[in-house]
Amino acid sequence: MTQMRLKHADHGNTHCLTEVNKSRLEAAMNLRSFPAGAALFWEGDRAEQLFYVMQGRIKLTKSTDEGKELVLYMYQAGDLLGHADLTAHSRHSFSAETLENSIIGVIDISSVETLITQHGDFALQFMTWMGAEHRITQTKLRDLMLYGKTGALSSTLIRLANTCGEVQDNGWITISRTMTHSDLASLIGATRESVNRMLRDWKRQDILDMNHGHLVIKELSRLQQICHCEQCPMDICRL
């Protein structure tokens, strides 16, 4: 079957910046290469830089007192990440680690402050980026706290479809990124066994299927019903 990538899956979270302001931000970057499994920063480190993914993938995680890791975000090329607190010397609340060999543009917060001071349009667009990141966090917490593990998993699958989904000519959506049950479990704070059980149930209900190790969403509307989808913009409904 023919496939096409979802239109909203190819741009990063800096789409709110004009090309001029993207160029200004890129001019302030120092490019660095990181191998897979390298840390960009650890929870508790001083938040003095932002990070722009030129190539590769990054996961943002939060650790519990018991040592359990919850994956909050998964960033890819075109995404900007980091704790952008311009009013105080703050520390990172999360840890960031590369999932594959990556090229990252490292930007000092002081350079961002200079751009904000010099260019009013950059300041407004940067605030838009900050607001979108906060909204993504809020929607993920909503799904997890209000609708339990089933709601969180269905929401995560929808976000995967928006981030790396390929639509087939029959309307089914293939998740191009290989995700293990453990990967999915870490995204919703559940056990691998519970994720396996939920996926198995949805496969029996003909909501999902597997094709050569890739998840296939056959009934997107059923997943939306499970998580009480509020039809957020595609730029918000993403990993």
Task: Dump pLDDT digits (tens) for 17-33.
Answer: 999 999 999 999 999 99
Whether pLDDT at 3 is above 50: no
State yes or no: pLDDT of 5 exceeds 60: no
Domain boundary among 72, 101, 136: 136
- Residue 175 DSSP symbol: E
Same domain, 124 and 191: no
Final residue before a domain boundary, out of 107, 136, 165: 136
**Pair 121, 180 in one domain:** no
Instruction: Give pTM, 2 decimals.
Output: 0.83
Residue 4 has pLDDT above 60, yes or no: no
Q: At 152, which CATH number?
A: 1.10.10.10
Domain that holds residue 147: 142-236
Four-residue CA torsion sign, 176, 221, 70, 73: positive
Report the number of distinct structural domains present in the chain: 2
Burial class (CB in 10 A: 0-12, 13-18, 19+), 143: buried
Residues 51 and 105 in one domain: yes
More confident residue, 142 or 55: 55
Mean pLDDT of 65-82: 86
Q: DSSP assignment of 134-173, as one string?
A: HHHHHHHHHHHHHHHHHHHHHHHHHHHHHHHEEEETTS-E
Among 47-51, 66-70, 188-192, the minimum mean pLDDT is found in 66-70
